[in-house]
Amino acid sequence: MSEGKTPDAGRRSERSHQAILKAVVELVGEMGYGRLTIEAIAARAGVGKQTIYRWWPNKGLLVLDAFAALMGDTAPLPDTGDVVADMKLVLRATAAELCSPRFEVPSRALTAESQLDPALAKQFVDTLLRPSLEVTKERLRVAQRAGQVAAGVDLDVAVELLVGPLFHRWLLRTAPLTPEYADTVAEYALAALRPPRTSGSAG
Amino acid sequence: MSEGKTPDAGRRSERSHQAILKAVVELVGEMGYGRLTIEAIAARAGVGKQTIYRWWPNKGLLVLDAFAALMGDTAPLPDTGDVVADMKLVLRATAAELCSPRFEVPSRALTAESQLDPALAKQFVDTLLRPSLEVTKERLRVAQRAGQVAAGVDLDVAVELLVGPLFHRWLLRTAPLTPEYADTVAEYALAALRPPRTSGSAG
Amino acid sequence: MSEGKTPDAGRRSERSHQAILKAVVELVGEMGYGRLTIEAIAARAGVGKQTIYRWWPNKGLLVLDAFAALMGDTAPLPDTGDVVADMKLVLRATAAELCSPRFEVPSRALTAESQLDPALAKQFVDTLLRPSLEVTKERLRVAQRAGQVAAGVDLDVAVELLVGPLFHRWLLRTAPLTPEYADTVAEYALAALRPPRTSGSAG
Amino acid sequence: MSEGKTPDAGRRSERSHQAILKAVVELVGEMGYGRLTIEAIAARAGVGKQTIYRWWPNKGLLVLDAFAALMGDTAPLPDTGDVVADMKLVLRATAAELCSPRFEVPSRALTAESQLDPALAKQFVDTLLRPSLEVTKERLRVAQRAGQVAAGVDLDVAVELLVGPLFHRWLLRTAPLTPEYADTVAEYALAALRPPRTSGSAG
DNA sequence: CAATAACCGAGACGGTACGTCGCGTCTTGAA
DNA sequence: TTCAAGACGCGACGTACCGTCTCGGTTATTG
């Protein structure tokens, strides 16, 4: 999914490919990203180191691939007609995922590594993050058409208003990431986006 | 400044101490945090490796110290009476700092490293981040007393509502961090925090 | 020429065979035997590695084949009737060959490799060395019949007496290998082999 | 004894130094020079690889050092007054040593490696070979003064006449290296060197 | 006013992992 | 079947740094 060059993908050993991704997931869970080693991955996967270096340029993109394989494709959001309720659902789900043991370690690792490697950052955002933000944005667009979100609002900003606070708290660990917090953020953010009350209209 | 134990501060060579912090700042700028090496720091500072290991437990805390020395103490915020204007100032300043070449590399490095090292994370947040958020919170408290912010608002959440979106955009590089964006975020966030209009009262 | 087994000589690509031997000669000259690589040979010859492994069991025997192809078949020695003069010719020719750039590198390589690989040693001696020593021995046999060499002399020892000193000096580089040295050795060696003077006889 | 550069010999760990030489001797015996590995040496010696690379530039010189440590200093030859008898002793001893299991493997290895590495060759000859040849040459000089060797003889050539045949047979394995062969070579070589019979003198 | 104990620079040490090279085997598709 | 091409598992290379450990050589009190 994310290997930069594909010398001859037809010849690639699918068995090795899968074994490597599996080993990465296992090892990142066992020892964390910092202690993760190409040699250990190769050993666990029963693969030569060169086979890893042949297909991935660095540890970051390898972990990204392994992590991407873990996540299913982004599902579209439910639309109950109530944006606030729907956004609460989204943020609660996001918070839960960020704290789930399976996702937390690689998410933090990829976020961290992205700070040191802009190429990885781009790949990470494009592959994993943007699609997920996009479905939220889509839901907001519907809300905007329905008049629940003010017409002039830049929806990218709107999404950041919803997700940014959660992300800030998660990443900097300033406080626990509870479902209640998710609800609060959703309420505040959507309050900010609500169109101004006009006399004679109903929200 | 942040070393946990001070075996015998009287004997500590201030010359070496400063040379190390200076070397760290220089080298982190030249080669980035990832390629930063204790050996290189020692060589640049003209110092034995042991002198570094004696006073700092790891690279992260060393960089934190060096970075903290770069930043002056947190100054209190101006209070013009207009929260929105004041917050725009704060966010614009924050955005500018995050993008300034002097601060960007170590900020990203510390944020990244904090993901892999909770001890560093705590130190980072307590030393550098919290004080900065605290002054913002203080200004909001004043606004709350003045009735510009709703009475029931949790000010920690309020601060995150303001800072989170900026931080999200900076860290994930989803879009450029402009002063206009800072203004927009400030407007939206404070709109969300404004007390509900009561008949017969003025905002 | 010297491959042990010939799985199916009929199918063997003569074009590839020659390209490989040519590549070996070139590369051994360019980078020496130690840095010679099967992969480099294959690349230079425009040949798959397997084609080399199919026909030669190891690098040593491959170089031996390539070197043997370089040397013509051993020519019989001239017989002027004067053993000493003839042997001087032989030793001067030997010395010249050992020092010629074309032969020196592979000769040293094969001698060296033979120390670590007895199978190669045998092949090397039988294919290249023994025939060359044999013609010298033959010339000495003639001299022995003519009474110029004592009757009881073991001709194998005689040959070693002639060739050994040259070889020793060449291999260990204790001193330069000049034609004069060849002459001196020939004189001494044949002096040792001369039959004892009997009263009333002439040498 | 043969390390090229001595960064700071005072700080060198003698324990490690000795352990390395010991490991080399053991391993060269167990697996031969060709299969000898720096990693294996380091492991066996309980030493980091860098400690080997720090003090020796390559495998050849390391083995040379280890081998030199094995051999005592060259003892002077006995002088019984009978050159032939003395030389027989020398050659028999040389033959025995070349075939002794302890010396054969490293001797062949160093001879072989010297073919590919002139620097090693020089060191090898100067350190181990030349001193040994020199004592023989010295004994011959005495014989020359005593009139047992012709006055005009170049003693370097004389030594090669004695040692060359043995060396040739040993290195190329053309025939077994027996004590009898050593005797024969000594007899022939000294016959060649004997001064011409002058009337009225006795040999 | 020595002495004595810390800290200092330097850098060797036992290790771990790196990213590369080349081995000899195996697989694929064309001739 | 052989061949060119080249991926594969593997093992070793030589290097970079890690964090620890001596070394002497300053300091800087303190008995």
Distance (Å, whole) CA D168 – CA D185: 12
- Asked, for residue B28, whether it belongs to a domain, the answer is yes
- Yes or no, beta carbons of A168 and B164 under 8 Å apart: yes
* One domain, residues D16 and D88: no
CB atoms within 10 A of CB B141: 13
What is the rounded (10 degree) CA torsion for D23, D26, D27, D33? 110
Q: How many Cα atoms occupy the beta-carbon half-sphere of A165 within 13 Å?
A: 26
CB atoms within 10 A of CB A115: 25
- Yes or no, beta carbons of C113 and D112 under 8 Å apart: yes
pLDDT (0 to 100) of residue A6: 43
Q: Is the pLDDT of residue A10 over 60?
A: no
B175 → closest Cβ in A117, A156, A185: A156
Nearest C-alpha neighbor of B87 from the set B156, B137, B18: B137
Percent of chain D with pLDDT over 90: 84
Percent of chain B with pLDDT over 90: 83
- Asked, for residue B134, whether it belongs to a domain, the answer is yes
Nearest C-alpha neighbor of A77 from the set A153, A167, A186, A165: A186
- Yes or no, beta carbons of A32 and B116 under 8 Å apart: yes
Query: Which pLDDT tens digit goes with each residue over B57-104?
Result: 999 999 999 999 888 777 778 899 999 999 999 999 999 999 998 899
* One domain, residues B20 and B113: no
Given a contact cutoff of 8 angstroms between Cβ atoms, the answer to whether D20 and C104 are in contact is no
* One domain, residues A109 and A186: yes
pLDDT (0 to 100) of residue A159: 98
* One domain, residues A14 and A41: yes
* One domain, residues D90 and D188: yes
| 3-state SS string for A117-186 | CHHHHHHHHHHHHHHHHHHHHHHHHHHHHCCCCCCCCCHHHHHHHHHHHHHHHHHHCCCCCCHHHHHHHH
Query: Which pLDDT tens digit goes with each residue over B156-170?
Result: 999 999 999 999 999
pLDDT (0 to 100) of residue C121: 94
- Asked, for residue B4, whether it belongs to a domain, the answer is no
Distance measured from the CA of protein residue A116 to the C1' of nucleotide F17, in angstroms: 19
SS3 D144: helix
**Domain CATH number, residue C50:** 1.10.10.60
Query: Which pLDDT tens digit goes with each residue over B117-156?
Result: 999 999 999 999 999 999 999 999 999 999 999 999 999 9
How many folded domains does chain B comprise? 2
- Asked, for residue D77, whether it belongs to a domain, the answer is no
Listed in sequence order, the residues at least 6 apart from B150 whose beta carbon sits closer than 8 Å to its beta carbon are B144, B193, B194, B195, B196
Distance (Å, whole) CA B84 – CA B101: 28
| Averaged pLDDT, A125-151 | 95
Q: Is the pLDDT of residue B196 over 50?
A: yes
* One domain, residues B50 and B91: no
pLDDT (0 to 100) of residue D70: 87
Q: Is the pLDDT of residue D9 over 70?
A: no
Given a contact cutoff of 8 angstroms between Cβ atoms, the answer to whether A69 and A21 are in contact is yes
CB atoms within 10 A of CB C109: 23
* One domain, residues B24 and B109: no
- Asked, for residue B89, whether it belongs to a domain, the answer is yes
Q: Is the pLDDT of residue A9 over 80?
A: no
- Yes or no, beta carbons of A168 and B163 under 8 Å apart: yes
* One domain, residues D89 and D151: yes
Q: How many Cα atoms occupy the beta-carbon half-sphere of D19 within 13 Å?
A: 17
- Tell me what the pLDDT averaged over chain D comes to: 91
Q: How many Cα atoms occupy the beta-carbon half-sphere of A26 within 13 Å?
A: 12
- Asked, for residue C75, whether it belongs to a domain, the answer is no
Query: Which pLDDT tens digit goes with each residue over A82-111?
Result: 999 999 999 999 999 999 988 999 999 999
* One domain, residues B102 and B184: yes
**Residue to substitute from B129, B134, B160, B181, interface A, most A β-carbons within 10 A:** B160
* Residue that is last in its domain, among B43, B70, B97: B70
* One domain, residues A62 and A131: no
Q: Is the pLDDT of residue D4 over 50?
A: no
- The parts of chain C modelled with pLDDT lower than 70 are 1-11, 197-203
- Asked, for residue D78, whether it belongs to a domain, the answer is no
Residues of chain B in contact with residue A155, where contact means CB-CB under 8 angstroms, are none
* One domain, residues B25 and B101: no
* One domain, residues C104 and C189: yes
Residues of chain B in contact with residue A121, where contact means CB-CB under 8 angstroms, are 172-173
Query: Which pLDDT tens digit goes with each residue over A26-49?
Result: 999 999 999 999 999 999 999 999
- Asked, for residue B78, whether it belongs to a domain, the answer is no
Strand E positions within 7 A of protein Cβ atoms: 6-29
Given a contact cutoff of 8 angstroms between Cβ atoms, the answer to whether B161 and B186 are in contact is no
Identity of residue B87: M
Task: Quote the domain boundaries for residue A58.
Answer: 9-70
Query: To which H or E segment does residue C114 belong?
Result: helix C101-116
**Domain CATH number, residue A166:** 1.10.357.10
* Residue that is last in its domain, among A49, A70, A91: A70
To the nearest whole Å, the CA of B34 is away from the closest chain A CA by 7
Listed in sequence order, the residues at least 6 apart from C141 whose beta carbon sits closer than 8 Å to its beta carbon are C155
Query: Which pLDDT tens digit goes with each residue over D51-73?
Result: 999 999 999 999 999 999 988 77
pLDDT (0 to 100) of residue D77: 84
* Residue that is last in its domain, among A42, A70, A98: A70
